[in-house]
Copies of this chain bind each other. A is one copy, B any other.
Amino acid sequence: MTLKRVAEIAGVSIATASRVLAGKGGAHRISEATVAAVTQAAEKSGFRHSHLARSLKSGQSALIGVVVPDVSNPFFAAIAREITLAAEAKGYSVLLADSREDDASERRLVGQLRDRRIEGLVVCPAGLKQDHFTAAQDAGLPLVVVDRGFADGDLLTVTSDHAQGARALAQVLLKAGHRHIGVLQGRPGTLANDERLAAFKATLADAGVRLPATHIVGDAFSETSGRTAAAALLRERPAITALFALSNQIALGALRAAAELGRVVPRDLSLATFDDLPHAEFLNPPLTTACQDVPALGRRAAELLLARIAGEAKPRTRLQRIPVTVIERASVAPPSHKGKQ
């Protein structure tokens, strides 16, 4: 059902029908009879505006793209939700894409979204390259990177204060008396990984505790990586009394590895981690964690993107930091602590 058809039914011109259905009846002093006729014709025929045609004409798609590495990951899902809600509130719709942690897919998806004439893009990069983002931005597309940023370049990025969280967790482990600590890292080269690692290492160093390169293992922010890396590390360096996992997935992998090796957390091994789990308080053991404010990440990203779409200039600070909250729970205890849970 098209506007043309509605106009025919109502016996008016297509322009008049358009005006009425755009609610501009008043502004154009269209007679009540005409308004009624058009409205009725539209209702009876189940007419719906074609946003496609409207977009083509107006040059505004009212579409925002969101690209994340895994929609089903509650972390990204929470970010996607905040963006969706903020977008909907401003009349935008959200095109969601899942890059499956794959650089090539991500490029393809960004291309498709650009073809769809999205007016803005929020992305959590899957890879270490940013040229496809830069190209899009240079072509005039408002863009905000969230969570995983790039150390260089000029892409506006919303991310947690990784250094703050890592420092705080290091202090928790030091305070408990740990001196032999292992790190289960995520993907080296990523901002989150490197910032967390550097701050953690620096804090240990300040306290006179060494963190040899052999104690830093793992290569991805995944449960698998955490499990494998933790298992190998604990076998090779039995003196280690505490682990710092750089993500919740890694921490769960570490829990499994510890269970397999018969090491009870926190009695035989302490564990501190980044990222809260949905219900960490009910976990066994409850995890000490640097909890990111995920909804805030999403909200800030949405806010910045919508502002840029509205024509505001990019803020001067490229890296927008969201504070993290360290929550001390039972997974950290003094080394070699025995007995009572």
Contact = CB atoms under 8 A, between A and B. Distances in A.
Interface string A272-299: 0000011100111110000000010000
A77 interface: yes
B61 A71 contact: no
Interface in A242-286: 252, 255, 277-279, 282-286
27 contacts: A46-B139, A48-B111, A48-B114, A50-B115, A51-B115, A51-B116, A52-B52, A52-B61, A52-B117, A56-B56, A66-B96, A71-B84, A72-B78, A72-B295, A74-B278, A77-B80, A84-B96, A84-B98, A88-B98, A88-B109, A93-B112, A93-B113, A93-B116, A94-B97, A279-B283, A282-B283, A284-B285
The oligomer's copy count stands at 2
Nearest to A341: B341
A95 B93 contact: yes
Contacts of A24: none
Interface in A2-58: 46, 48-53, 55-56
A70 B81 contact: yes
A77 B48 CA distance: 29
Interface size class of A (residues with CB under 8 A): 35 or more
Contacts of A111: 48
A338 B55 CA distance: 67
A50 B56 contact: yes
A84 B88 CA distance: 19
A337 interface: no
A113 B62 CA distance: 12
B85 A52 contact: no
Given A81-B70, A252-B279, A255-B282, A49 B97 contact: no
B56 A84 contact: no
Contact of A77 (B74, B95, B100, B283): B74
Contact of A117 (B51, B71, B88, B100): B51
Contacts of A139: 46
9 smallest A-B Cβ distances: which pairs?
A77-B77, A284-B284, A71-B81, A72-B81, A96-B96, A72-B78, A51-B115, A51-B116, A74-B74
Nearest to A282: B283
Contacts of A52: 52, 55-56, 61, 116-117
A12 to B, nearest CB: 22
Given A72-B78, A80-B96, 8 more contacts: A50-B115, A52-B117, A71-B77, A71-B80, A88-B98, A94-B96, A283-B284, A284-B286
Most buried by B among A48, A51, A97, A279: A279
A38 B278 CA distance: 53
Contact of A278 (B70, B88, B278): B278
Given A51-B116, A115-B50, A97 B71 contact: no
A282 B109 CA distance: 36
Given A74-B77, A95-B93, A85 B56 contact: no
A205 to B, nearest CB: 33
A209 to B, nearest CB: 29
Contacts of A82: 72
A72 B71 contact: no
Contact of A115 (B48, B77, B277, B284): B48
